[in-house]
Structure 1
Amino acid sequence: MSVHHSNPLPPHWDIFCTVVDNYGDIGVTWRLAKQLASEYGIPINLWVDDLLSFSHILPLLNPAKSQQEFNGVNIFHWENPIKIEYEAGAVIIEAFACELPSQVKSIIGQLHIQPDTQTPIWLNLEYLSAEKWVDGCHGLPSTQPNGVKKWFYFPGFSPKTGGLICETQLFKQRDQWQADPKHKLALFEQLGLQGINAQDRVISVFSYETPALTALCELWQASSTPIHALIPKGRSLHSLSSLLPCAIADLMPGQQFTLGNLTIHILPMTDQNDFDRLLWSCDFNIVRGEDSFLRAQWAAKPFIWHIYPQEDDYHLVKLQAFMQIYCDNLAPEIATTWSEVNSAFNCGDTNSVVMHWQQLNSVSLPLTHHAIKWPINALNDADLASRLVQFVNNC
């Protein structure tokens, strides 16, 4: 891409995001925007179509305001057409194949044909996948109808991909948090969760609907030691209506229900920092989508990934690809047990998920050791933001 510096673009970057499935896409995009602003000093304009859903993970956000600033990021309500005057930044990112507004594409096209004018670098930030084909597709250009090249940026687990979102100080903060049990107990109290002792087993649940979750909760009721399941209002609870004493709509954060040796706690929604701390504080995490999936890995705890269901069960291909690289250095019996639990949970296989969950107990120590080492290996020496900045500098 030729860049003419006689008429430079403003130094800011534009990131466009449409909110899908409430928190997944915006969760990833918001983390990236914050990191680019704080660690690289890049002015970020973040355009989001659904500020109400966004406010669930950024509680101070006012969904009625068209423009506001948090964490050094300018947040705009993305309306079609854009109602405020738009000035293209040096980099324009469409997150997860969202379609840029026609007026933005028009402005990019006009800048492209003007002599002595810099053309914005146009990137499509794709979904995270562990599949091997990602290596060959990352960084490829596609010439658009207006003549501008759009570059495909694929996050991933190999050095040939765009990397994984991880803030510079995250692992240090996690280790300090996990070094003292008083931190998790203080967090549980802050979240309104009662009766959890430092030695109790605590499991966070942020899944889609599945009968496998019902089967696990019924198993946990018969546990020989206390188990606490921390579950926010939302899709996970729809699988547990038969176990709850009231309608899901009537549940309030802080409520808890004891069923045998299982206590179900209703979690309040948290911002991203507290969600990270929640994952750090639990013994096992059941997560979904992309953002939570990656944060569970950075928590250095064993987890189940409930992947978003796709047509023709293609999500199971993605799951298999990830399990293969996650289990690369694991002993076969541990790898098999962990993989079978994940597969059964995703397939809704109640008998299989119970059987393999019971087998997890015998491999919990080496699985935990693996979970602690995994984040360092997965980062491959460079996180997504640093690789992204390098990619832009090389364009």
Structure 2
Amino acid sequence: MPSCDIFCTVIDNFGDIGTSWRLARQLAAEHGWHMRLWVDKLEAFAHLCPTIDPHAYKQQVGDIIVEQWSTDSDIKINIEAADIVIEAFGCNPPPAYIAAMAKRAAYQHAPVWINLEYLSNEPWVADFHLKSSLHPRYPLLKTFFFPGLIAGSGGALQERTRLASQRAFLSAPNARIAHCASLGVPPAAAQATLISLFSYENANLEALLSAWCNSATPITCIVPAGIISTAVAGFFGMPKLAAGMVAARGHLTVYGVPFVEQDRYDLLLWICDLNFVRGEDSFVRAQLAQKPFVWQIYPQPDHAHYVKLEATLAAYAFALSDEARLALSSFWRKWNNTSVAPLALDWNHFWQHRNRFANHAINWTQTLAKLGDLAGNLAQFCESQLK
């Protein structure tokens, strides 16, 4: 089986390391690849994988070797490049490692070099997916691999066992109540409309929480520790919303819960009636959860994220009825609008379509399945290049 090195720099938040870690685990478990993951900030990685030692330069987690990578000096001159090299989101492997790739190319098959791009659904993606460029100095080809939700892209990460695991978990008696209890949320709160809130800072948060306070029925909001926790606490006049803390107003009750590892976060997405997610990793997992969701795309200074948002709406909301599609698109756009003063989110107009959104969420996973799994598509391409 081939060896593979994945290089990941943690820019901020957890999307890059989250995607890299899921990909490494899946390539090892489902394709038998010998995986090594290079990460520059193990402290951030430890939030997603508690068994990680942030101070270890080299460690093994399951079937995967994890190496700490902070400077080029961390890459030994005599290191042997892997059969397949994946740079996550254009992070560029260290020069010493690229030199090792060129050295390998001189006496055997050059490594298959992949630039795993950010997920995008813009029409041009299909034209650039699997296109290659030659390194300016060495005889090395780098191939661009684009995850996406549209035909012609590399697809999204979706494990072979995911659907069976989800069904088994949800078929257990009181699965929702039991998982809520593991997070410190009592049974009565679990029986209300259950919403998870995982987002970046958002100017529309106060409008959203106010709408939930005025809801006609009880709403329980679960907030994993993170960027948005302080803003939620401020809405209730609290200095913080740490794990184990509770705040309530009107028909809204908010529970602060710990930031949990990936597998436990997946369970949270499965049990909620609606999930607010951000970035790339939780965005994909929300789709696989087969539940309605609201996505906050990573904001970019030049507002390029609005173009990406519209492309995603065009793909995801296409099969909805006109009325439901308009409600979903309007709500997503307002939730992502950071260039103006806070907007009045029309929560009631959005949530009146919850049954349509729920049915669509189930059907959407069938659409994703037709694109193939990102890890499987990547493995198939790379292994074809090694022959």
TM over 0.5: yes
Q: Quick check: 1:343 aligned with 2:333?
A: yes
Q: Which residue of 2 aligns with 1:56?
A: 47
Helix, strand or coil at the partner of 1:374: helix
Aligned length: 381
Q: Is the 8 A contact 1:158 1:380 kept in 2?
A: no
Deviation for aligned residue 1:308: 0.7
Q: Which residue of 2 aligns with 1:313?
A: 303
Alignment of 1:200-279 (within 5 A): 200-248=192-240, 251-279=241-269
Relative to the length of structure 1, the TM-score reads 0.92
**Cα offsets for 1:269-308 (capped at 9, x unmatched):** 1111000000001100000000000001111111110001
Q: Is the 8 A contact 1:55 1:62 kept in 2?
A: yes
Structure 1: give runs of 5+ residues left out of the alignment.
Answer: 1-9
CA distance in 1, matches of 2:269, 2:2: 36
CA distance in 2, matches of 1:54, 1:66: 13
Helix, strand or coil at the partner of 2:212: helix
Q: Is the 8 A contact 1:307 1:319 kept in 2?
A: yes
AA aligned to 2:39 is: V
Q: Which residue of 1 aligns with 2:121?
A: 130
Q: 1:34 aligns with which of 1, 4, 25?
A: 25
CA distance in 1, matches of 2:59, 2:358: 41
Q: Quick check: 1:366 aligned with 2:356?
A: yes
Helix, strand or coil at the partner of 1:211: coil
**Cα offsets for 1:162-182 (capped at 9, x unmatched):** 111010011222223334561
CA distance in 1, matches of 2:103, 2:172: 57
Helix, strand or coil at the partner of 1:192: coil
Deviation for aligned residue 1:381: 4.8
Alignment of 1:142-181 (within 5 A): 142-145=133-136, 146-180=138-172
CA distance in 2, matches of 1:124, 1:353: 40
* Amino-acid identity (%): 37
AA aligned to 2:252 is: L
Q: Which residue of 1 aligns with 2:366?
A: 376
AA aligned to 2:12 is: D
Q: 1:104 aligns with which of 92, 97, 101?
A: 97
CA distance in 2, matches of 1:346, 1:353: 13
Deviation for aligned residue 1:241: 4.2
Aligned-residue Cα RMSD (Å) equals 1.7
Q: Which runs of 4+ in 1 moved over 6 A?
A: none
Q: Is the 8 A contact 2:39 2:68 kept in 1?
A: yes
CA distance in 1, matches of 2:100, 2:244: 50
Helix, strand or coil at the partner of 1:246: coil
CA distance in 1, matches of 2:191, 2:205: 23
Q: Is the 8 A contact 2:19 2:281 kept in 1?
A: yes
CA distance in 2, matches of 1:208, 1:92: 31
Q: Is the 8 A contact 1:340 1:353 kept in 2?
A: no
Helix, strand or coil at the partner of 1:286: strand
Structure 2: give runs of 5+ residues left out of the alignment.
Answer: none
Q: 2:183 aligns with which of 185, 191, 194?
A: 191
Relative to the length of structure 2, the TM-score reads 0.94
